[in-house]
A and B are shown apart, each in its own frame.
Chain A
Amino acid sequence: MIIEHIDAQLPGAITDRHDFRGDQTIVVAKGNLLALVDLLHREGFQLLVDITAVDWPEREERFDVVYHWLNLASQERLRVKVPVADGETMPTLTGRFKTADWFEREVFDLFGIRFEGHPNLKRLLTWDDFQGHALRKDFPLDGGDPFCMEGCTAPYNNGERTRG
C-alpha cells in the first residue's frame, strides 16, 4: 500500500521492487533517499528498525545499504535498498531518526560506507585503529594477521565462496 503512495508522490523514484515471502522491498537511488524518508515519516513509518548493508563485490555499485521500517499503526513493514559504489558516501538519517546514529556507525565500521553529515562517525564494534572493514567479502574470515592486522586485503579463499 505504501508503495502506491510512493509511486504517486515520488514518481520514478522506485527503480526496482519485489515482494519475496511477503516482504515489501523497494530499491531507490541515493539521490531520492531523503525525499523518500520524509515521505515515509509522514506516512507513519516512524520506527526505523534496522540499517545494514550487503556487499556484492562483483557489482559496479558494490554495496546495498538496507533500511527496514515499521509502521506501528498499520504494522506494515518496508525494506528500502540503496545501491552505492565503494568510496561513495550516503546521506545520514540521524536528523530524522535517532536510531540511525549507531546503526550507521556500525555500517561504517563493518563495510566502510561513510555517511555524510553524521555527527560522530566513528567505529562502533571494532577499535579505532582496526584495519579494513570486517564484513566486506574480501576481508579474510580469520582476520588476517592476528597480531598487527596488516595484510587483511588478502582475499580469503582466493575470493571464491565455497558453494554447495
Chain B
Amino acid sequence: MTMDSIALSRQQLDGDHMIVNFGPSHPTTHGTLRIVLELEGETIIRATPEMGYLHRGVEKLGESLSYQQFIPLTDRLNYCSSIMNNVGYACAVEKLLGIEIPKRAQQIRVLVSELARIADHIVCVGVNAVDIGAFTAFLYLFKQRETVYDLFEMAAGQRLHTSFTRIGGLFRDIPPEFVPLTERFLVECEAAVDECERLLTHNPIWYDRTKGIGAISPEDAVNSGYTGPCLRAAGVPQDLRKAQPYLGYETYDFDIPVGTTGDVFDRYLVRIEEMRQSLRIIRQVLDRLEPGPVIVDDYKVALPPKEKVYTRMESLIHHFKLIMHGIDMPVGEVYSATEAANGELGFYIVSDGGKNPYRIRVRPPCLPIFSSFEEQVKGCLIADAVAVLGAMNVIAGELDR
C-alpha cells in the first residue's frame, strides 16, 4: 500500500484529523524527505517519515568500483562536510590495509576535518534559525562558511565535492597560502560565532521556540542510537575523537561540550561550542604542521609521482598495476568509525581479496537520529517539528545513501 492511499484512508476514517504532507520538497527538509503528519488542530498526533528519495544505491555501486573509485561517492553522503566523509572512508580502507599514513597527511586531515565540522555546524545552526524565523544569524555565519569553502577550493580544487583524500594519504599538499588564510579565518570565525551567540543565545524568541522542544533523556538517546552533537546535548560525553582517537586526535587539546536536556536549545549550544573547540584544534594543527610527504611511500597502495611514472620503468609498471588491478587487499572485514559532524560515521568493509570491496556499508549518523523523529514531535505543534528536524541536522544524501 502506498503512502498516499494510507493518508487518504485515514482522512476518510476520521474527519477531525488532518493529514499534512511535510515534504518531499519543503524548504525545511533541506533535501528530499517526506513526513506525513497527522494533525489535530495544530498538534501532531502522528508523524510518519518517508525516506529514500535520494537513495542512489551507494553501497551497491561500491561493490563494482575499486577502493579508490569509491572516494567521489563518499563526497555525496553528507554534502555539507564532504571532506569528513573522504577522511572517514580513507581511514577505513587504511585500517583494512593495516597501514599508517604520514604525519603531515594526518595533520592536514585533522585540519580540513575540523574546518568541515565548522562549516557543517554553521549550516545546521544557521538554517535551523532560518527555519524558525531568525534570518540574520544565518547571514553572519554563512560568510564564514564561504571562507571555509574557499579554503577547500584552494586545497582540493573543489568547493563541495572535494575528494581530497586518497588511500594512504592525500592527493596533494595544501598550497603555501592556505595557512595564512586559515589563520585569518580563525580570527574572523571566532568573532562570527560570538556574534551569532549574541544574536541567538539570549534571544527570548529563540529561547521560547527551542527550549524544551525535542528533549530526550540520555538513556533514550543511547537506546535510539544517537551519536554526535545530539547525543552530547542529551548529556552523554561520547566523542570518538576523545574516546577512540584516530589521526592523532589524542595529542590535541580540546574539550567536549555536553548539554543536559537534549532539546533543540542544548543541541544549538553544543554545536556553537564545538565550533569554538574546532577552532582550537585548527590553531594547534597550524602550530605543529610539519613538512613532509602527504601520501605513503608505497607504490602498491598509492600512485607514484608523475615525474617518476614518465621517467622510470618501475614506477610506470606500478602505476599501470595500480590502475588496472587495484590495491592488493587482504581478505577480512573491518569497521572503522570517525566522528563526523553529525555523529559516528562508520564504514564496514568486507574484502574478499578482490579489486573491489565485496560489501561496503556506510553507517550514516543521522539515520538512527531521524528514526526517533515521531517520538520527538508527538504532541508538539507543527512549528516545533520544523525546529526538531533542523536540530537533528538530517542530511538526505547521507540518510538515503
Q: Is the interface of B mostly helix, strand, loop or mixed?
A: mixed
Q: Which of A2-10, A45-53, A147-155 is near enough to bind chain B?
A: A45-53
Provide the residues of chain A in CB contact with B358, threshold 8 Å: 54
Provide the residues of chain A in CB contact with B52, threshold 8 Å: 123-127
Count how many chain B residues have C-beta atoms less than 8 Å from C-beta atoms of the other chain: 50
Q: How far is the CA of A139 from the CA of B363 in the complex (A)?
A: 22
How near does chain B come to A79, taking the closest CB pair, in angstroms?
6
- Is B185's CB within 8 Å of the partner chain A? no
Provide the residues of chain A in CB contact with B400, threshold 8 Å: 125
Which of these, B238, B359, B401, contacts A55 with CB under 8 Å?
A: B359
- Is B334's CB within 8 Å of the partner chain A? yes
Provide the residues of chain B in CB contact with A50, threshold 8 Å: 335, 346, 348, 361, 363
How near does chain A come to B385, taking the closest CB pair, in angstroms?
18
Q: Is the CB of B344 within 8 A of A99?
A: no
Q: Is the CB of B344 within 8 A of A72?
A: no
- Is A77's CB within 8 Å of the partner chain B? yes
Q: A52-B348, A75-B243, A126-B55 are in contact. Are A97 and B223 (CB under 8 A)?
A: yes
- Is B302's CB within 8 Å of the partner chain A? no
Which of these, B60, B222, B333, B368, contacts A102 with CB under 8 Å?
A: B368
Which of these, A49, A75, A135, A161, contacts B354 with CB under 8 Å?
A: A161
- Is B102's CB within 8 Å of the partner chain A? no
- Is B332's CB within 8 Å of the partner chain A? yes
- Is B259's CB within 8 Å of the partner chain A? no
Count how many chain A residues have C-beta atoms less than 8 Å from C-beta atoms of the other chain: 41
Q: Which of A19-27, A31-39, A83-91 is near enough to bind chain B?
A: A19-27
Q: Is the CB of A52 within 8 A of B60?
A: no
Q: Is the CB of A75 within 8 A of B244?
A: yes
Q: A54-B350, A55-B359, A164-B355 are in contact. Are A97 and B225 (CB under 8 A)?
A: yes
Q: Is the CB of A164 within 8 A of B368?
A: no
* CB<8 Å pairs between A and B, sample of 13: A20-B332, A20-B334, A52-B363, A66-B348, A75-B244, A99-B368, A99-B371, A125-B400, A127-B52, A135-B60, A141-B63, A163-B354, A164-B354
Q: Apart from A49-B344, A141-B60, what 10 extra A-B contacts exist at CB < 8 Å? A: A21-B96, A23-B333, A48-B225, A52-B348, A52-B361, A98-B225, A99-B224, A99-B225, A126-B52, A129-B2
Tell me the B residues contacting A by CB distance below 8 Å: 1-2, 51-52, 55, 57, 59-61, 63-64, 66, 95-96, 98, 220, 222-225, 227, 236, 238, 243-244, 324-326, 332-335, 337, 344, 346, 348, 350, 354-356, 358-359, 361, 363, 367-368, 371-372, 400-401
